[in-house]
Amino acid sequence: DEVGLLAQVGTQLGIALQQAELLKKTQQQTVKLNQTLQALKRTQARLVQGEKMAGLGQLSAGIAHEINNPVGFISSNLEPMQEYVSGILELLQLYQHQYPEPEQLIQEKIDDIELAFILEDLPKIMASMKMGTSRIVDIVKSMQNFSRLDEAAIKNVNIHEGIDSALLILKHRLKANKQRPTINIVKSYGELPFIQCYASHLNQVFMNILVNAMDAVDGDIVSDRENPEIYISTHWQEIQKSLLIQISDNGPGIPEGILANIFNPFFTTKPVGKGTGLGLSISYQIVTEMHGGKLSCRSTLGQGTTFYIEIPLTIAEPIQVTGPGDV
């Protein structure tokens, strides 16, 4: 009986070991499947965003090119036109000084066109036209910088130009509306060297994070925050030979449970049609995989959110990572 009992126990132990081994293999396969699924999601996100940004880049470059030509004509002619108008105004004033009592027909025309008002207002109109043209030129330049068609090449780039280009394109988002006053942009730029990077891709990162910051202060702002603000700072890290870009908002902050998932592909808390869940995921890949840098986020409920972008001075080759890791 004892021998039979021992045999039965041995058989049960053998079955238990087989089941444990099978469970271990199943768990390993589950881990591998999850890793494969995450890799497929990242690849899908990269392809979707890559196609989207390629089309947007070509569209922006085309629009910028088409606008640049006529604006160039206007801009180049405004300077001599301003000189001509100034000369004519000086001539009119000279006539008024030499002939203070014009004939009745001329006086009637002077009164009809309100010459005194024209003499005062025309220089202001010319200055306004010149300012508006300069504004268009700046916008076109920003569109060209943002949509760099040489995006496949590593370039020596001034990071501040990329940030400023993104801000200029998003300037309409900063204006006051019914929900909030004007969003204040505070910049604290440090002395930075030119860095080697994929310029248009980093511009996407700045655009995505700035849009998220603007969405944050557009939403349910904490009651004691009457002045929505986005703070941007840059700092050179000599020991690490890298630059640190910090983008903060004083919005409501991100709950801890959500914060752990913000870099996951297709994860979004925004309403349908407002967010795709690709922006931060693609930004993470651009910073970490393409540039070998770091992208992290810290947030405190009721106090706001800060993104930290760290980019090395030079890129040896694109670095592959398996996932977003800890935030």
pLDDT reported for residue 59: 60
The band of 150, judged by pLDDT with boundaries at 50, 70 and 90, is very low
161 vs 57: which has the higher pLDDT: 161
Q: Is it the case that residue 52 has pLDDT exceeding 60?
A: no
Chain segment 1-28, per-residue pLDDT in tens: 555 555 566 676 677 777 777 777 777 7
Helix 2-98 with 115-146: angle, nearest 10 deg: 150
53 vs 137: which has the higher pLDDT: 137
Chain segment 204-227, per-residue pLDDT in tens: 899 889 999 998 888 654 444 578
Kindly report the backbone phi and psi dihedral angles of residue 174, in degrees, each rounded to the nearest multiple of 5, phi listed first. -85, -15
The band of 230, judged by pLDDT with boundaries at 50, 70 and 90, is very high
What dihedral angle (degrees, nearest 10) is formed by the CA atoms of 269, 271, 272, 278?
A: -40
Q: Where are the beta strands (DSSP E) in 189-282?
A: 195-197, 229-237, 242-249
For residue 104, what are the contacts with CB-CB under 8 A and spacing of at least 6?
Answer: none
Q: What is the mean pLDDT of residues 83-111?
A: 87
DSSP alpha helix (H) spans, 191-253: 199-218
HSE-up (13 A, CA, CB side) for residue 19:
6
| Owner of token pair 């001599």 | 80
**pLDDT above 70 coverage of the chain, percent:** 73
* Lowest-pLDDT choice from 57-61, 169-173, 279-283, 291-295: 57-61
- The highest-confidence range among 70-74, 126-130, 232-236, 289-293, by mean pLDDT, is 232-236
pLDDT reported for residue 106: 87
Q: Is it the case that residue 327 has pLDDT exceeding 60?
A: no
pLDDT reported for residue 210: 94
**Residue of 261, 264, 251, 265 whose CA lies nearest to 301:** 251
> Over the range 113-128, which residues count as b (16 or more CB within 10 Å of their CB) and which as e?
eeeeeeeeeeeeebee
The band of 298, judged by pLDDT with boundaries at 50, 70 and 90, is very high
Q: Is it the case that residue 132 has pLDDT exceeding 70?
A: yes
For residue 67, what are the contacts with CB-CB under 8 A and spacing of at least 6?
Answer: 136, 140
Cβ proximity of 243 and 235 under 8 Å? yes
